[in-house]
Amino acid sequence: MKNVLFAAAVCTFSFVLSAADVTLPAPEKKGGISLNEALNLRKTVRSYKADQLSAKQISQLFWSAFGVTRADGKRTAPTARNCQEITLYLLTAKGAWIYAPKKNQMVQVSSKDLRSVAGRYKAPAYIAIVSNRKLSGSTPRSLHFASMDVGYVSQNIYLAATAMKLGTCAIGQIVKPEVLERELKLTDSEKVLLVHSVGFPK
Protein backbone atom coordinates (compact mmCIF):
# COMPACT_ATOMS: atom_id res chain seq x y z
CA MET A 1 0.00 0.00 0.00
CA LYS A 2 2.82 2.40 0.88
CA ASN A 3 4.43 1.74 -2.51
CA VAL A 4 1.15 2.58 -4.26
CA LEU A 5 0.84 5.86 -2.36
CA PHE A 6 4.46 6.74 -3.08
CA ALA A 7 3.99 6.06 -6.79
CA ALA A 8 0.89 8.24 -6.83
CA ALA A 9 2.80 11.08 -5.19
CA VAL A 10 5.63 10.80 -7.73
CA CYS A 11 3.16 10.83 -10.63
CA THR A 12 1.44 13.91 -9.23
CA PHE A 13 4.74 15.76 -8.94
CA SER A 14 5.84 14.68 -12.41
CA PHE A 15 2.58 16.08 -13.76
CA VAL A 16 3.28 19.40 -12.05
CA LEU A 17 6.69 19.57 -13.69
CA SER A 18 5.54 18.61 -17.17
CA ALA A 19 2.66 21.03 -17.64
CA ALA A 20 2.94 24.74 -18.35
CA ASP A 21 0.01 25.80 -16.13
CA VAL A 22 -0.92 23.57 -13.19
CA THR A 23 -3.33 24.16 -10.35
CA LEU A 24 -1.72 22.99 -7.12
CA PRO A 25 -3.52 21.04 -4.39
CA ALA A 26 -5.22 23.25 -1.82
CA PRO A 27 -2.88 24.15 1.06
CA GLU A 28 -3.68 23.23 4.64
CA LYS A 29 -4.86 26.25 6.62
CA LYS A 30 -5.49 24.54 9.94
CA GLY A 31 -3.56 22.12 12.12
CA GLY A 32 0.14 21.33 11.94
CA ILE A 33 2.69 22.04 14.63
CA SER A 34 2.34 25.11 16.83
CA LEU A 35 4.08 28.40 16.08
CA ASN A 36 6.21 28.00 19.20
CA GLU A 37 7.34 24.54 18.06
CA ALA A 38 8.21 25.84 14.60
CA LEU A 39 10.21 28.73 16.05
CA ASN A 40 12.05 26.38 18.40
CA LEU A 41 12.90 23.90 15.62
CA ARG A 42 13.70 26.45 12.90
CA LYS A 43 17.24 26.20 11.58
CA THR A 44 19.25 26.62 8.40
CA VAL A 45 19.90 23.44 6.40
CA ARG A 46 22.52 23.25 3.66
CA SER A 47 22.70 19.51 2.94
CA TYR A 48 19.78 17.72 1.29
CA LYS A 49 18.61 14.31 0.16
CA ALA A 50 17.85 13.83 -3.54
CA ASP A 51 14.13 13.16 -2.87
CA GLN A 52 11.82 15.46 -4.82
CA LEU A 53 9.15 17.58 -3.17
CA SER A 54 5.52 16.61 -3.68
CA ALA A 55 2.93 18.90 -5.26
CA LYS A 56 1.27 19.17 -1.85
CA GLN A 57 4.52 20.31 -0.23
CA ILE A 58 5.13 22.85 -3.00
CA SER A 59 1.62 24.21 -2.57
CA GLN A 60 2.05 24.52 1.19
CA LEU A 61 5.45 26.20 0.91
CA PHE A 62 4.37 28.81 -1.63
CA TRP A 63 1.03 29.56 0.02
CA SER A 64 2.77 29.93 3.39
CA ALA A 65 5.41 32.19 1.84
CA PHE A 66 3.11 34.65 0.11
CA GLY A 67 -0.26 33.09 -0.61
CA VAL A 68 -3.70 34.69 -0.57
CA THR A 69 -5.59 34.47 2.72
CA ARG A 70 -8.59 36.77 2.26
CA ALA A 71 -11.20 37.68 -0.32
CA ASP A 72 -9.66 41.14 -0.69
CA GLY A 73 -6.38 39.59 -1.85
CA LYS A 74 -4.36 40.12 1.34
CA ARG A 75 -1.45 37.72 1.83
CA THR A 76 0.29 35.53 4.40
CA ALA A 77 3.11 38.12 4.62
CA PRO A 78 2.73 41.90 4.95
CA THR A 79 4.07 44.39 2.42
CA ALA A 80 4.57 48.12 2.92
CA ARG A 81 1.47 50.05 1.80
CA ASN A 82 0.13 46.66 0.63
CA CYS A 83 2.22 46.98 -2.55
CA GLN A 84 2.40 43.20 -2.94
CA GLU A 85 5.55 43.69 -4.99
CA ILE A 86 6.86 40.17 -4.31
CA THR A 87 6.72 37.36 -6.88
CA LEU A 88 7.90 33.81 -6.20
CA TYR A 89 9.50 31.32 -8.60
CA LEU A 90 10.09 27.58 -8.24
CA LEU A 91 13.33 26.19 -9.69
CA THR A 92 13.81 22.44 -10.19
CA ALA A 93 15.76 20.07 -12.43
CA LYS A 94 12.96 20.26 -15.00
CA GLY A 95 12.52 24.01 -15.24
CA ALA A 96 11.23 27.14 -13.56
CA TRP A 97 7.69 28.17 -12.65
CA ILE A 98 6.12 31.41 -11.48
CA TYR A 99 3.66 31.12 -8.60
CA ALA A 100 0.22 32.59 -9.35
CA PRO A 101 -1.21 32.97 -5.83
CA LYS A 102 -4.77 33.99 -6.69
CA LYS A 103 -5.35 30.71 -8.53
CA ASN A 104 -2.78 28.71 -6.51
CA GLN A 105 -1.12 27.76 -9.79
CA MET A 106 2.38 27.25 -11.16
CA VAL A 107 3.01 28.65 -14.65
CA GLN A 108 6.15 27.45 -16.42
CA VAL A 109 8.55 30.15 -17.60
CA SER A 110 11.59 28.02 -18.49
CA SER A 111 12.45 24.39 -19.21
CA LYS A 112 16.07 24.88 -18.04
CA ASP A 113 17.55 23.73 -14.74
CA LEU A 114 18.45 27.07 -13.14
CA ARG A 115 19.34 25.81 -9.67
CA SER A 116 23.10 26.12 -10.19
CA VAL A 117 22.83 29.83 -11.07
CA ALA A 118 20.73 30.43 -7.95
CA GLY A 119 22.79 28.71 -5.25
CA ARG A 120 25.64 26.30 -4.59
CA TYR A 121 23.75 23.72 -2.55
CA LYS A 122 22.54 20.48 -4.13
CA ALA A 123 18.87 20.89 -3.31
CA PRO A 124 15.95 19.41 -5.27
CA ALA A 125 14.30 22.83 -5.39
CA TYR A 126 14.96 26.52 -5.02
CA ILE A 127 12.55 29.36 -4.38
CA ALA A 128 13.49 32.71 -5.92
CA ILE A 129 12.02 35.81 -4.26
CA VAL A 130 11.63 38.66 -6.75
CA SER A 131 10.84 42.28 -5.91
CA ASN A 132 9.31 44.67 -8.45
CA ARG A 133 10.38 48.32 -8.12
CA LYS A 134 7.53 49.37 -10.40
CA LEU A 135 5.12 48.33 -7.65
CA SER A 136 7.15 49.22 -4.56
CA GLY A 137 8.72 52.45 -5.79
CA SER A 138 12.39 53.15 -6.44
CA THR A 139 13.22 55.72 -3.76
CA PRO A 140 15.74 54.67 -1.07
CA ARG A 141 12.90 54.49 1.46
CA SER A 142 10.77 52.32 -0.86
CA LEU A 143 13.68 49.97 -1.54
CA HIS A 144 14.29 49.70 2.20
CA PHE A 145 10.68 48.65 2.76
CA ALA A 146 10.86 46.21 -0.17
CA SER A 147 13.86 44.51 1.45
CA MET A 148 11.90 44.22 4.68
CA ASP A 149 9.00 42.62 2.78
CA VAL A 150 11.35 40.01 1.32
CA GLY A 151 12.46 39.21 4.86
CA TYR A 152 8.88 38.51 5.96
CA VAL A 153 8.41 36.10 3.07
CA SER A 154 11.74 34.42 3.82
CA GLN A 155 10.76 33.81 7.45
CA ASN A 156 7.47 32.29 6.31
CA ILE A 157 9.43 29.87 4.13
CA TYR A 158 11.60 28.89 7.09
CA LEU A 159 8.62 28.26 9.37
CA ALA A 160 6.62 26.37 6.72
CA ALA A 161 9.61 24.18 5.84
CA THR A 162 10.18 23.43 9.52
CA ALA A 163 6.53 22.48 10.02
CA MET A 164 6.79 20.01 7.10
CA LYS A 165 10.13 18.59 8.31
CA LEU A 166 11.90 20.08 5.30
CA GLY A 167 15.15 22.01 5.34
CA THR A 168 15.86 25.41 3.82
CA CYS A 169 18.56 28.05 3.59
CA ALA A 170 18.14 31.71 2.67
CA ILE A 171 20.84 32.76 0.20
CA GLY A 172 21.59 36.40 -0.51
CA GLN A 173 24.78 35.77 -2.49
CA ILE A 174 23.18 34.45 -5.66
CA VAL A 175 25.65 32.67 -7.96
CA LYS A 176 24.68 34.33 -11.25
CA PRO A 177 21.85 36.80 -10.62
CA GLU A 178 21.96 38.30 -14.12
CA VAL A 179 21.61 34.88 -15.74
CA LEU A 180 18.81 33.89 -13.37
CA GLU A 181 16.89 37.10 -14.02
CA ARG A 182 17.29 36.73 -17.79
CA GLU A 183 16.13 33.11 -17.80
CA LEU A 184 13.14 33.96 -15.61
CA LYS A 185 12.25 36.68 -18.16
CA LEU A 186 12.14 39.42 -15.54
CA THR A 187 11.50 43.03 -16.52
CA ASP A 188 13.96 45.86 -15.89
CA SER A 189 12.06 46.79 -12.72
CA GLU A 190 12.27 43.27 -11.25
CA LYS A 191 15.16 41.95 -9.17
CA VAL A 192 15.88 38.61 -7.47
CA LEU A 193 16.72 39.70 -3.93
CA LEU A 194 16.90 36.32 -2.20
CA VAL A 195 16.71 32.60 -2.98
CA HIS A 196 15.96 29.63 -0.74
CA SER A 197 17.29 26.11 -1.25
CA VAL A 198 14.67 23.59 -0.14
CA GLY A 199 14.64 19.83 0.39
CA PHE A 200 14.69 16.96 2.83
CA PRO A 201 17.58 17.33 5.31
CA LYS A 202 20.31 14.68 5.23
Residue 87 pairs with which residues in a beta bridge?
130
List the domain range (segments joined by +) for residue 74.
2-199
Residue 101 is given by DSSP the state T
Domains: count for the chain: 1
Residue among 28, 76, 24 at smallest CA distance from 54: 24
195 with 125: CB under 8 angstroms? no
Q: What is the CATH number of the domain that holds 139?
A: 3.40.109.10
Q: What is the pTM of this model?
A: 0.90
**Residue 18: what pLDDT?**
53
Taking alpha carbons only, the member of 178, 190, 32 closest to residue 98 is 190
Mark residue 14 as left, alpha or beta (left: phi above 0; alpha: psi -120 to 50; beta: remaining).
alpha
Mean per-residue pLDDT pooled into runs of 10, the chain (202 residues): 39 50 94 96 97 97 97 96 96 97 96 98 98 93 94 98 98 97 97 98 96
